[in-house]
Amino acid sequence: MEEVFDGEEFEEEELELFEHYNFIIDKGQSPTRIDKFLTERVTNATRNKVQNAIDTGMVLVNGAVTKSNYKVRPLDEVKVMMESPSKKTESQPEDLDLDILYEDEHLMIVNKPAGMVVHPAHGNWTGTLVNGLMYHFNQLPELPGNTGRPGLVHRIDKDTSGLLVVAKSELAMSDLAGQFFHHTIERTYLALVWGEPKDEVGTINTHVGRSAKNRKVIEAYPDGSQGKHAITHWKVLKSLRYVSLVQCNLETGRTHQIRAHMRYIGHPLFNDAMYGGDKIRKGTQFSKYKSFVHNCFAMIPRQALHAMSLGFVHPFTKEKMYFEAPLPSDFAQVLEKWENYVTYEN
């Protein structure tokens, strides 16, 4: 049996607290119930944990959702998304001012400001969203297998603003993770990008993965030779001569997906230092224009990217839920500044 374990946690929007396993069943494998098979072969798995993954549609056999009584057969391809074992963390609860747009007994929707790290990591043990969530969840039972990081199913970058859904129970977490896994979560971002795309709408369908030159940077690999499959649908909402306001809808949620994809098509995000957007990419050589752009950089000292909306099915009521977060002030102000510039300065 060949076992392929992807040790990297899913990042950006993609199941931060879940591990991905692929199994190709041996030719000599005797028929075995899949729940028993996975319990024996997945590290730290329990029968209940495996059953929960199957019930929430996070176990696929040959690309299809399966049931616990299915018996694996030779050459079956089994894909599993399973909750990671708990990890030690040095984070502590902090009384942070979280912008909670919605909350019930099962989940909450948080509007994260730019500059806030989502979860503790090296160099960021305090002031993270999780520190605030730990304080908020102080009187609630701790979620099994999620010590110190309550309810996280996905994340967004430190300098990206916008919406996150947080689960408040293990079943809610598994159900929401399943919706991410099956790409049924609706996610809309707003981005200010350099230049004016020649088309009004488009789809970017390439693999993305870490650059060999700089492991912090994600590259697009159109030939699929590296990385993971990523799809971004985009639409121009407003053309402002040298920059454009673009709506991006994700089918997948890879690390830096929008940032890498927009650079790939020649329109990096405004003031995205990691992807070349912090330099003047379009416009004139006049000093007045250069001064204007640098003033805009100072106004929004981050990539101009906002997670505007989230749509999903409620894990318990099965109602369709939809939430929007308005543009934060830095993004709104720089957009207005560009609108005024192209209207009155030229």
**C-alpha torsion angle, residues 225, 231, 236, 237 (rounded to 10):** -150
d(CA 159, CA 119): 13
Closest among 136, 94, 96 to 112, alpha carbons compared: 96
Which pair of tokens denotes residue 275?
A: 């992807």
- In sequence order, what E strands does the chain have? 2-6, 18-24, 32-33, 59-61, 64-65, 71-72, 77-83, 100-103, 107-112, 161-167, 186-194, 201-210, 218-221, 228-240, 243-250, 305-313, 320-324
Helices (H) and strands (E) in the chain, counts: 7, 17
d(CA 274, CA 259): 9
Check residue 93 and give left, alpha or beta (phi > 0: left; psi -120 to 50: alpha).
beta
Catalytic residue check, 157: yes
Locate tokens 């509007």: which residue? 111
Strand partners, 72: 32
Closest among 250, 277, 19, 20 to 156, alpha carbons compared: 250
Closest among 170, 200, 198 to 52, alpha carbons compared: 170
Q: What is the DSSP letter of 91?
A: -
Q: Which of 55, 95, 99, 157 is catalytic?
A: 157
- Crossing angle for the helix pair 329-344 and 287-299, to the nearest 10 degrees: 160
150: which residues sit within 8 A by CB, 6+ positions away?
Answer: 130, 133, 134, 136, 137, 140, 142, 143, 166, 168
Alpha-carbon torsion 178, 181, 185, 187, what sign? positive
- Which residues are known to be catalytic? 157
